[in-house]
Amino acid sequence: MANNRVLQWAVMARTWWIYDANLQCPFRSSERIITYLKGKHKPIYHPFADIGDHVVVFNTRHVAMRGNFWRTFKHFNHTRYAGGFSQASAWRVHEMDPTRIMEKACYQRLSGLPMKKTLMARLHLYPDEEIPQEILENVSGQIRQVQVVPKKLEDYTEEEIQNFPRLFEWPENYDVESYQRENQQEPDQHTTKKWRLD
């Protein structure tokens, strides 16, 4: 075949993928993302071959953790000096850098690979919808999300809420409001003292 050489370029070409992290679990998402970073979705995959793809992740500010994980999931750091250990709960880390949760989740799942820093350099994280044009124009495919994006109460119209089937209606004089607790910041039990803001 005359175009064999060009075909081989196409086989080895690095493609770009995009992933929408809106309301997605960062841990399950990272499992899917590192498949593309390592090139495991290709039939020519080999662990010694550097054939991973680029992945652009946006909306990392809007990732969703299950259960109590925003409070209890911790990020650790040690400066290697005596007493240099510190830890911060996920919500605090997220507050400081909205791409950090996603980055760390991917980096931890690449452990054991000598290539992991090279692969992480191919992961492009953006906190919101805005992606630079020079990045976006490379993208040729999209990775499917890991879970359904739930519809929020704000997304329903007033009419839909009124017409939703209900078993009974609250009495006119029933007090719903006073049971709602005031939204105040709790003391962060899981973060090292120097990271705390209060």
Partner 1 sequence: MSNNAIPRDFVKNVLQNGVGRYVCQLKRITFRFCKSHGGSRHMRDFIENNLLEFTQKNPGVVCYLQPRRHRPPSVVAEFLNGRREVMLLSGKEVPEICKWVEHMRTRSGVQIVNMIQNNHTETPSTQGIWHPFMFRDSEMAATEFPSKKFSQIQVTGKTATDLVLEEQLKVSSSESSDSHIEGK
| Segment near partner 1 (CB under 8 A); pick from 90-98, 117-125, 139-147, 176-184 | 139-147
CB 54 within 8 A of CB 14: yes
CB 57 within 8 A of CB 30: no
- Compute how many other C-beta atoms are within 10 angstroms of the C-beta atom of residue 152: 8
Q: Using the rule CB under 8 A, is 49 a contact of partner 1?
A: no
Q: Using the rule CB under 8 A, is 28 a contact of partner 1?
A: no
d(CA 162, CA 169) in angstroms, rounded, equals 11
Q: What are phi and psi of 140, to 5 degrees?
A: -125, 5
For the CB of residue 66, give the shortest distance to partner 1 in the complex, in Å. Answer: 16
Which structure tokens are listed for 174? 């029933």
Choosing from 77, 108, 118, 147, the residue that interacts with partner 1 (CB under 8 A) is 147
For the CB of residue 78, give the shortest distance to partner 1 in the complex, in Å. Answer: 38
The residue (of 41 and 190) whose beta carbon lies closer to partner 1 is: 41
Helix (H) or strand (E) holding 136: helix 133-136
Q: Using the rule CB under 8 A, is 142 a contact of partner 1?
A: yes
Q: Using the rule CB under 8 A, is 31 a contact of partner 1?
A: no
The residue (of 108 and 140) whose beta carbon lies closer to partner 1 is: 140
